[in-house]
Structure 1
Amino acid sequence: MMRTIDLRGRELSRAELLQLVPRAAVDTGIAVERVRPLVDAVRDRGEAALREQARDFDGVEGHALRVPEAEIAASLASCPPEIEQALRLLAERLRVASAAQVPEPRTTRFGDGAVIRQRWQPVSRVGLYAPGGKAAYPSSVLMNAVSAQAAGVPSLALASPAQREHGGGVHPAVLWAAAIVGVTEVYAIGGAGAIAAFAHGVPSIGLDPVDVVTGPGNVFVAAAKRVVNGLVGIDSEAGTTEILVIADSTAEPGFVAADLISQAEHDEAAASVLVTDSPELAERVGAEVERRAARTRHAERVRQALGGPQSAVILVDDLATAARVSDAYGPEHLEVQTADPEALLGSLSNAGAIFLGGHTPVSLGDYLAGSNHVLPTGGTARFAAGLGAHTFLRPQQVISYERDALSEVHEPLLAIAGAEGLPAHGEAVTARFESETEGTV
């Protein structure tokens, strides 16, 4: 089912590895051109454009774009107790882990009267997106909302696609999650239109523009984020899910196969990659994949994902090479199922999140590990981070100098200002030391 890429016996440069690792045949650049008119329409025509897009893409008309606050709170009555309990546990663990991501204020002193304070300020307002295509994602609502709350963001808005099956409303599971964490501003808006609405605002439905847009979605949501980036901040262009498993001969084939399948069930374009130095393990995992994929609920979707160009088994000579392959790939989710996962950790840098050992599946991170599951995809983990409290924080320096402290750096500052040809910079400091008889304060 999964194709094999054999890299054994080859000395490959980083550039060559970047070319060889499997990728989904998705071009966000092309998607940008498709969504730009949708974003511009929402900017120019607001609610009318959103309703047209709901009709065309969601098959919904005449629905309320904003969910009444009372309906959000009342939704929990329909939530099965075991699901509510699990969602509350997820939120509780995530809240603790997210709080640990908020840096403490720091003060630096360069002597008496020369102080720089480093503080971390939350943005004022955030737009959170929860997808609603092949599945409902209450867990994503919690991942976004709890992280923003841990950062101290005072205003949160949530958008999720209108569901024809639910009378044009937001999926009930999304409302359950919103109710659990106290998000009271929810909109039945999906896709690129939702991202545009967050960025530009829609006055007729009470939606004010936000400062940052976060949340996962398909390639069109990612493309819309690219279009509005700069007008607002974004977390990342989080696209279709990925898993890369580094495994050696000690790995349990059933565990590896189950984990590859778990991410493949998200979408036909999902990427599942195994990198191993054991041909025997690769063969056993292949057999397990065939057996397990045939009996899983989304068997056809899994089969397409695992058989696509974005998925593969990669054979390498050793685990050091496996680490190089993984870093070139930059996976959203990286599992290490080897005899000594900790020993390999120091060689691994590029991943959205890393799961060590046979009993730490990605599914744990998706729900109850306490970590965040909104992570960079498409190789962007080489330079981008996953969602966290830090996503909503801005480092800000507060500088405070007294007269004597300024005097100590007066001459060096004049020298630099002169070298750069900006004499007024130096004169602004000199002005503080001119005598009052010269007419200055």
Structure 2
Amino acid sequence: MKVYTNPEKTAWNGILKRPAMDSASLEARVKEVLDAVRTEGDAAVARYTEMFDGVQLAASRVSPAEMAAAEARLDESLKAAIRQAAANIRAFHEKQLQPVEMVETMPGIRCWRKSVGIEKVGLYIPGGTAPLFSTLLMLGIPAKLAGCKEIILCSPPDKTGSLHPAILFAASVVGVTQVFKVGGVQAIGALAYGTGTIPKVYKIFGPGNQYVTCAKQLVQKDGLAIDMPAGPSEVAVLADAFANPAFIAADLLSQAEHGVDSQVLLVTTDAGMVGKVQLALEEQLEKLPRKGIAEKALQNSTIIVVEETETAMEILNAYAPEHLILQTEDADSLAGKVVNAGSVFIGAYSPESVGDYASGTNHTLPTNGYATAYSGVSVDSFVKKITFQQLSAEGLRNISETVVNMATAEGLDAHANAVRVRTRLR
């Protein structure tokens, strides 16, 4: 990890810059796949599945028998863990459901807003080196709570043409409507444009590699909604002299093992913490099966030493991390000063991995600095907010002059006339 001590503020942007992803060079290849799926449908999906995943499938849709077999194969302790995580995630997200509230803005004028679930949503869950069944819980549960009628899951098959049993079990737990063994760009294209087998959806959710990310960005240009801009996973840790270096190292590595393009950041007010954390990283790295991935991620990562906590918080808010861990003596009070972060973990006993799996909060969060303007996934991500209004004859009379005067001033006489013909105003 690169170490900076008391850097000048003018240097912060350069130090905090994320590794650049050259999406322009990907677009031509990704667009070729998307265009083929749009024009050829299932034939293109099958061709690219064989090309990229190395498997020919008799059918891409997962059958009820496959779902049942997956549940039977899965270890009981893992099934219990998935159920517990699902219960916590459901409990947290249920509180996001808001009742309809009627507002009478003037006598005879009633206005209200109602949340309506997006009818068809697509969930993309990577398989690859880490089958992210936890992400399926994070997306499927709020989708179900929001009232989405169709929840379509796509995930890449392994070399035997199967999905990881934990993904299929999680799909059953959250109530996914249909599951397809399709991954990569072809899955995004199928969800965006529809095929003879895979339904077209109205919004796509879920993480993926640079090809999937690029595909989501391109279908968004075609008018399809996606969850949020995405980039590599990241975590930032704030530590003072009271922090535990072993805890810090474990948190940094838990994020670094996601991928070689992941980024971790440590900001500390204690210069002595740097050496302690580096030693702990070396010790813990040796025990990790994904050591090679984590090591490469650490090469693109940074430690910043500053003297004041206020400066540290200013740096972290400028960085706007996906995950922010506060390992300081005054973590509770510092949490109130966070303005840019996807999710915040307060104190030494709040590791980011708990939020990733089972505490209840959602782990689908803005990356790449988008936490300055975007929120993580919630029930709101799966609904549309529709406003309603109802006026009585008295209500329209009460507001008629206001509307007529404003419409006339804007030169929109037909707008004014829509009120006049009902109230006989001149």
TM-score class, shorter-chain normalisation, is over 0.9
Q: Is the 8 A contact 1:99 1:151 kept in 2?
A: no
Matched residue, 2:320: 330
CA distance in 2, matches of 1:178, 1:162: 15
Residue 381 of structure 1, CA deviation: 1.3
* Matched residue SS, 2:106: coil
1:214 matched to 2:199? The reply is no
Aligned length: 425
1:300 matched to 2:266? The reply is no
Q: 2:218 aligns with which of 211, 223, 227?
A: 227
1:178 matched to 2:167? The reply is no
Q: Is the 8 A contact 2:140 2:175 kept in 1?
A: no
* Matched residue SS, 1:121: strand
Residue 318 of structure 1, CA deviation: 1.4
* Matched residue SS, 1:67: coil
CA distance in 1, matches of 2:409, 2:3: 60
CA distance in 2, matches of 1:222, 1:176: 26
Q: Is the 8 A contact 2:150 2:177 kept in 1?
A: no
CA distance in 2, matches of 1:70, 1:387: 32
Residue 62 of structure 1, CA deviation: 3.4
Q: Is the 8 A contact 1:32 1:226 kept in 2?
A: no
CA distance in 1, matches of 2:368, 2:60: 32
1:285 matched to 2:277? The reply is yes
Q: 1:420 to 1:29 in 2, by over 3 A?
A: farther
User: Alpha-carbon deviations, 1:329-384, whole Å to 9, x = none?
Assistant: 11111101111112112221111111000000001001111111111111111111
Matched residue, 1:197: 190
User: Alpha-carbon deviations, 1:182-202, whole Å to 9, x = none?
Assistant: 324100111111111111111
Residue 415 of structure 1, CA deviation: 1.3
CA distance in 2, matches of 1:368, 1:392: 21
After superposition, residues 254-265 of structure 1 pair within 5 angstroms as 254-265=246-257
Q: Is the 8 A contact 1:251 1:338 kept in 2?
A: yes
After superposition, residues 58-69 of structure 1 pair within 5 angstroms as 58-69=53-64
After superposition, residues 244-283 of structure 1 pair within 5 angstroms as 244-283=236-275
The amino acid of 2:209's aligned partner reads N
CA distance in 2, matches of 1:384, 1:361: 22
Q: 1:237 to 1:169 in 2, by over 3 A?
A: farther
The amino acid of 2:207's aligned partner reads P
The amino acid of 2:36's aligned partner reads A
Structure 1 window deviating more from structure 2 (232-241 vs 246-255): it is 232-241
Matched residue, 1:120: 115
Q: 1:362 aligns with which of 352, 357, 368?
A: 352
Residue 6 of structure 1, CA deviation: 2.7
* Matched residue SS, 2:231: coil
1:108 matched to 2:117? The reply is no
Q: 1:11 to 1:21 in 2, by over 3 A?
A: closer
User: Alpha-carbon deviations, 1:151-204, whole Å to 9, x = none?
Assistant: 11121110000211xx2122222112112223241001111111111111112x
The amino acid of 1:220's aligned partner reads Y
Q: 1:316 aligns with which of 278, 297, 306?
A: 306
Runs of 5+ unmatched residues, structure 2: none
Residue 72 of structure 1, CA deviation: 1.4
CA distance in 2, matches of 1:352, 1:296: 27
Q: Is the 8 A contact 1:65 1:187 kept in 2?
A: yes
* Matched residue SS, 2:47: helix
Q: 1:295 to 1:188 in 2, by over 3 A?
A: same
Matched residue, 2:369: 379
After superposition, residues 123-162 of structure 1 pair within 5 angstroms as 123-162=118-157
Structure 1 window deviating more from structure 2 (295-304 vs 90-99): it is 295-304
The amino acid of 1:148's aligned partner reads A
User: Alpha-carbon deviations, 1:37-94, whole Å to 9, x = none?
Assistant: 2112111111111112112211112342111123113310001000000000011110
Q: 1:80 to 1:333 in 2, by over 3 A?
A: same
* Matched residue SS, 1:106: coil
The amino acid of 1:172's aligned partner reads P
Residue 22 of structure 1, CA deviation: 3.9
Matched residue, 2:385: 395
CA distance in 1, matches of 2:12, 2:394: 57
The amino acid of 1:333's aligned partner reads H
* Matched residue SS, 1:222: helix
Q: Is the 8 A contact 1:63 1:168 kept in 2?
A: no
The amino acid of 2:14's aligned partner reads Q
Residue 296 of structure 1, CA deviation: 1.5
Q: 1:7 to 1:63 in 2, by over 3 A?
A: farther
CA distance in 2, matches of 1:263, 1:57: 27
Percent of residue pairs bearing the same amino acid type: 36
CA distance in 2, matches of 1:414, 1:25: 53
* Matched residue SS, 2:303: strand
CA distance in 2, matches of 1:223, 1:87: 30
The amino acid of 2:188's aligned partner reads I
TM-score by length of 2: 0.96
Residue 434 of structure 1, CA deviation: 3.4
Structure 1 window deviating more from structure 2 (18-27 vs 346-355): it is 18-27
Runs of 5+ unmatched residues, structure 1: 436-441
* Matched residue SS, 2:4: strand
Residue 324 of structure 1, CA deviation: 1.4
Matched residue, 1:70: 65
CA-based RMSD: 1.7
Q: Is the 8 A contact 1:73 1:179 kept in 2?
A: no
